[in-house]
Structure 1
Amino acid sequence: MRLARIATPTGPRPVVQDGDVWAVVVDHHAPDLERTGETHPVDGARLLAPCEPRVVLGMAHNSGPADRLVPPQAFTKSARTVVGPGEPVRLDPAAGKVVVEGELALVIARTARHLTPEQVPGVILGWTVGNDVTAYEQSAIDDKFTQSKNGDGFTPLGPWIETDLAVAGVADLAIDVQVDGATQAEASTSGLAWDVVEQLVYLTSHLTLGPGDVVLTGSPGTSAHVVPGQTSAITIEGIGTLTNPIV
């Protein structure tokens, strides 16, 4: 099942794809989707960020087996950094070098705290493409990542949420990162040091996650330098492509 948020003349709407139309639902986090009867053609619909998280977390140093030599850690990103497909990533010239990072992002379905591994699949709504934009040079002078991770538009998400991929099914998904149509990085989610089950067990041991919250699961060598005037396009196998202009 494919869930999204679209722009309509009367405001944003949560939707589910039914063939060639988006069907508006009351709440796409609900276990049983309640359709309102309103529909919009898929062709021509303007997609927004597929969820509205209150909490956005990113896994730090999760890019390869060597990262298992240190305990898992995470950083927070402001929910105000979230943008949808086609929306701009805005660079501050004073920030220095900026990279886009293609990442599998998971979206939470219901309140989650102190999860066991067996409970993890039941709290995941689905999966989307995440772009953990990072002002690379700022990381060296701010180990809390506030300066490097929170620029305007620094967390593109989209184009939609795929719900049919099981947790085991996201263990080896190809990620392709393009800038202006040319591939700059290719990798797989199999390169992550900590898998999504381990990540959610760790994260929920420290804080509560709720419906719509997002975890950026890590960049397994999927980063690329960008400058204003370019366009990034991140594709994750089985999910889709997230495209954003850099301004």
Structure 2
Amino acid sequence: MKIARVRHEGRVLAARVDGTTVYPVLPEETRHMADAVRDLIADGTAHTVLAADVPGIPLDDVELLSPLAAPQKIVCIGLNYADHIRETGLATPKVPLSFVKTAHCLTGPTAPVRIPRGATEQLDWEAELAVVIGRTARHVPAEHAADHVFGYTVANDVSARDAQFSDVQWFRGKNFDAFCPLGPWIVTADEVPRPQDLAIGARVNGAVVQDSSTKEMIFGIAETIAYLSRFMTLYPGDVIATGTPHGVGMGRDPQLWLRDGDVVEVEVEGIGVLRNQIRFTD
């Protein structure tokens, strides 16, 4: 099942996506609309509520939003692809290297990424497979981690490299507004039987810049969930962005940075595509 947040006729709705049709959940069927998808995941009712027989709306008639609006946390894993380690020349982490993006970074799968002009000269892309937690996870062993996954989506961990590496830590360089395009929907885990064997990549203005596989992950999804849950409780609707493969702008020779008007497409096999234009604004 594909689950999305959509805007239709001024209302933001949770919806099931089936081909070129979306089947929305009416607002009165959820507790509140701050994050209807997260609420349905937390309630354990997403599959049954969204499977209801309701009138459909053409996909072209809605705006796809970030499938989650207010996860409690977005945990990102850095330096988690062997091919990315090779291009950066950095040491392979001994444990998952984690940092946080906050919910204000979230933006939709087709929304522009708007950045104040002059705020960065080194804007980079990072194609990532994102995991959406479905059940509260605390001290979860790796062999049971899959039981806590609701589904998967696509993320672009947009990064301002000059800010990232001029500070002592990465928070500012990773947390500009709209630095986390997410979507276009969540594909439930039952439809992604091989999450560690998916093609993943990115294109800038149509040119392929990343082309890899989730097989290149150093720390797999189960190991990452087990590790994080030793230190923090993972809640339904939380997002884990699992790292990016080789081909980021920082790792190229010469380095390649995003400019005003560039279009970045991030794709994960069987999940979907993000397509966001970069817009520098005054």
Q: TM-score, normalised by structure 2?
A: 0.81
User: Which range is displaced more, 105-114 or 68-77?
Assistant: 68-77
Partner residue of 2:135? Answer: 110
- Corresponding residue for 2:64? 47
The percentage of aligned residue pairs carrying the same residue is 34
In the TM superposition, what is the alpha-carbon distance from 1:104 to its structure 2 partner? 0.4
Shift of 1:63: 2.3
SS of the aligned residue for 2:17 comes to strand
Alpha-carbon distance between aligned partners in 1 of 2:128 and 2:151, rounded to the nearest angstrom:
14
Q: Which runs of 5+ in 2 are unaligned?
A: 31-36, 86-90, 250-256
Which one has a larger percent strand, Structure 1 or Structure 2? 1
Secondary structure of 1:176's counterpart equals strand
2:114 to 56, 71, 90: 90
Query: Would you say how many aligned residue pairs link Structure 1 and Structure 2?
Result: 247
Q: Please show how residues 48-67 of structure 1 align to structure 2 within 5 Å.
A: 48-52=65-69, 53-64=71-82
AA in 2 matched with 1:239? I
Structure 2 match to 1:207: 232
Query: How does the TM-score come out when normalised to structure 1?
Result: 0.91
1:1-247 correspondence runs (5 A): 1-25=1-25, 26=30, 28-29=40-41, 30-31=44-45, 32-34=47-49, 35=52, 37-52=54-69, 53-64=71-82, 68-92=92-116, 93-164=118-189, 169-224=194-249, 225-247=257-279
The alignment's C-alpha RMSD in Å is 2.1
Cα drift, residue 195 of structure 1: 0.5
**Which structure has greater helix proportion?**
2
Counterparts of 2:53 and 2:172 in 1: how far apart (Å)?
42
Q: Please, which runs of 5 or more residues in structure 1 have no aligned partner? A: none
Q: What is the DSSP-based 3-state SS (H/G/I as helix, E as strand, rest coil) of the residue aligned with 1:118?
A: helix
In the alignment, the residues of structure 2 paired with residue 215 and residue 63 of structure 1 have an alpha-carbon distance, to the nearest angstrom, of: 15
Deviations 1:29-84 (A, max 9, x none): 12442138353222332100011212111002212186655222200111100001
Hey, what does 2:253 align to over in structure 1?
none
Q: For the structure 1 residues 79 and 36, does the alpha-carbon distance in structure 2 shift closer, same or farther, using more than 3 Å as the test?
A: farther
Q: 1:119 to 1:6 in 2, by over 3 A?
A: same
